[in-house]
Copies of this chain bind each other. A is one copy, B any other.
Amino acid sequence: MMNEDVLRGYRGRLREKLGSEKIGIGDLIKVEYGEKSYEGILMPRLESADEFHIVIKLKTGYNVGIAFEEDMKIVRLKEAKKPTFKPPPLPESSSDLPEISIISTGGTIASRVDYATGGVHAAISSRDLLSIVPELSEIAKVEGDILFSVFSENIEPKDWSMMAKRVADKIKSGFEGIVITHGTDTMGYSAAALSFALSSLPVPVIFVGSQRSSDRPSSDAASNLIAAVSAAAQAPFAEVVLAMHETSSDDSIVFHRGTKVRKCHTSSRYAFQSVNSKPLARFRDRRIEMIEKNFRHRGGRELILRDKFNERVALLKFHPGFNPEIIDWAVDEGYKGIILEGTGLGHVSSKCYKSIERAIHEGLIICMTSQCIWGRINMNVYSTGRELINLGVTPLEDMLTETAFVKLTWALSQSNSREEALKLMATNLAGEFSHRTLYTWK
């Protein structure tokens, strides 16, 4: 937070007024004019915002914008709390605790400081996480490492490569489990990406995020982090999973397979759901219990790192009135593959056939998933499905659209052969296909 403008986003007369009162962002202030009076934390403003509003966060958690007037009374009631992190306690833990690396990539779970001052901009280091959750040092010898710090909506395939490489480095250095803190928006995509990039994994790799930042009473950051570090240290499985709340209670955290999980709620603590499969395991009463009986066990095997992703893949969601020219556009732009998120059992309108035929003729791989999300596609039931198969469309069984997209970016970077990539797409590499579809959704 050093060298940061203490009145970020405020300009003109309003800025002068605030400055003259020695007010800075994060201070508790009181604004009075006429009969009205507001108390709250001064919030930063966007650079692009107008200069006529003062924005404060009320005690209720809501922000209000108040139009500035010259005769307003604005006073500081309390100075902004300075971040009070102290370095984590030196591990007094006995030296036989497993060594775990926490790789930080950003997101709400690492957003405490900035939230305290209003917006959610910055990140805190994994070492800081230790001072928020000191229990971690009783579970493992924890090393913290900031890989980058971004909101996960800005994460791109090249970032998946960086994560995969960093994990591989850590495993080579002897860590017995890896935790990756991540923003929840695209955490499912990243977990799928590392599921394919890291094969023959000898230790668990646990993605973890939080839906509520750690300075809110309802935060899920600590409980998720404790579960993630416990799994990294003790779990019998060596797979890429995602640790989040099972229900709204802090009592149980589940580990979803990286290829079978998606964010299914914008804000709830149990936003992540395993789709067409059960979660792999659960953390309850400080113990890991397996739910799925078939899993890859920890072992001394050699990790295989295949960290390339081909970004020339499009994900197109079909809908009535869908314009097949988007497919032509992708072909013309040099795309190598398309995931069509079709309707029902795997359908798009017959108007798309010509563009699909051309795309496949030009060497693209076109795969089909369903926007229903749950269930399995079956392109043999109706003539639409059969025609699409005949055109060369690849049906992806019960694979999630998001996982299918990630897998195709990965498969296309493994070789220049279309046939090789198609073979990879059809092979169950990391649990992305289920043998039968489970109805866990209701």
Contact = CB atoms under 8 A, between A and B. Distances in A.
17 contacts: A46-B383, A46-B387, A120-B383, A153-B347, A154-B384, A156-B321, A156-B349, A185-B343, A263-B344, A265-B372, A271-B372, A314-B323, A315-B322, A321-B409, A325-B333, A326-B329, A329-B329
B329 A321 contact: no
Instruction: Tell me what chain A mostly uses at the interface: helix, strand, loop, or mixed.
Output: loop
B342 A157 contact: no
Interface string A80-119: 0000000000000000000000000000000000000001
B372 A266 contact: yes
Interface string A307-335: 00101011111111111011001000100
A13 to B, nearest CB: 21
Chain copies in the assembly? 2
Contacts of A346: 266
Contacts of A384: 151, 153-154
A121 interface: yes
A341 B314 contact: no
B153 A265 contact: no
A442 interface: yes
Interface of A: 46, 48-49, 63, 119-121, 151-157, 159-160, 184-186, 189-190, 247, 263-268, 270-271, 273, 309, 311, 313-323, 325-326, 329, 333, 341-351, 370-378, 380-384, 386-387, 390, 402, 405, 409, 439, 441-442
Given A46-B383, A46-B390, A268 B375 contact: yes
Contacts of A151: 347, 382-384
